[in-house]
Structure 1
């Protein structure tokens, strides 16, 4: 009986070994297929955006990132429409604490009356028009004493393309009101999936009583919705193609090897709910008008500087 039991035990062990080898072999095949798929999709995305690749990135001298410091990335959305010079509709800093895996977003109103180095005071978004990324960086640092380590810039047409790549079925958004004026699309109130063009129109809408404050709020909603979309299971197969497309669609000072990875890491890291701050903060501003700048938002710079410091520290 002992001999029979020993033979049965040996057979069971052999079966387990065979099953283990089969499992490992299947796992290797899946990894290889996944790797090949990712490379192919990355190359497809890269080719889609290759015609937009910027061989002459903006001048930018970022701050040196100290050990343990939050990494601040200046993110800009630009409506160039084929023009040599453009103003920025979207100006935000994505601040990333890698140790705590925490991401915060600071959005700046474009009509802030800003002290632009070497120029008269104008609206904040005029700084990009006058001196592109570097001058806008110097303006923000001078006013709010916040270090800026990197930048990422995307044209609105490229934004539309990237959204359609990562979310071909659209991004779920609860549209809070009917929107159509001057945004290129017509949106109706209610929950719906927005394609790239519609999502951009939603983010840019400001033809209501909220004006630019409403637009900045919607830009923050869009960033959070895109983060959720990139983290969703159904979007995972689209990520390699999305990263490849970023090579041409997004201009940044990150190296080619870091470009896609670092921007995605900054957006997809952290808590499910992103902490957000809009500058100017409530009660720290008034409206005014100047002949050379038009309608502007005049702010208490020190109050807003303090608000940013507290926001990043909490």
Structure 2
């Protein structure tokens, strides 16, 4: 708790983002608070009277995550009874086979920092995948190329151009958190919440410490052989920043499965969508059809072939995720009707 709240100063709920639209959904008798950390069976919630350890007994699928606004019971042993509607949510597909419901990584965030290290080399495919996740959430993505100092004095302009091309509509910055270069204007504004996403060893915790201007999170060394590091962050936690903003550090993401219906993919590949409008056929699959503007762009080098392959991969994944969600909703409806019919048959018996 000391890392999240370094001083005796406690911000108001309004400074943490609470407003009338959240208050309108709070059930009578409950105390509002923002979830700053979640542990097994309990969570740390910042209320108007300070941080409280609260029991977490909501059913699976309704449990709080970091960034949530929650309704707590009052008294010495508070319990989370309600999660207020989320304005944004970072949701990835569940790692468990056969589970169609997604895993919420963070809620009510305004900015998503996508941390990608400059060494040993930038993975454009991972940036595109995380961008799709960020756009789908409703938050504003910022691609942060970390450890720029390890790649030389300045990242080659051609490398940054490739990143910009892979991230249409998103801000792209190169930083060195250790040398404190590229950080100007990066911190979330007062009242805003940011979350940092990326693989283990991407420099997420180092970035958080630089923005917090203190050692808020533990950091680890990176192997010179492959640029990877050990998992120094083992939980998600919301931290208060000096300028009044907030940031959520996250553990390294080994898998980043898409969960939603593909709007994030469409925004990530807005350049492909723009080209597709010029295709001769309205249902062009961009796979050898005559008059395909996308194929022509690949042929003349306007669109990298790697990017088209990445679009196809994420598009298929988004379509699969949407079909699983539809199947889950159908099953839930069928189960509800079965329960209703069972209840009706029980009432009709003499």
Same fold, judged at TM 0.5 (above): no
Greater RCO between the two (CA within 8 Å, min separation 6)?
1
Look at both structures and tell me which one has the larger radius of gyration over its CA atoms.
Answer: 1
TM-score (norm 2): 0.26
Q: Which has the higher helix share?
A: 1
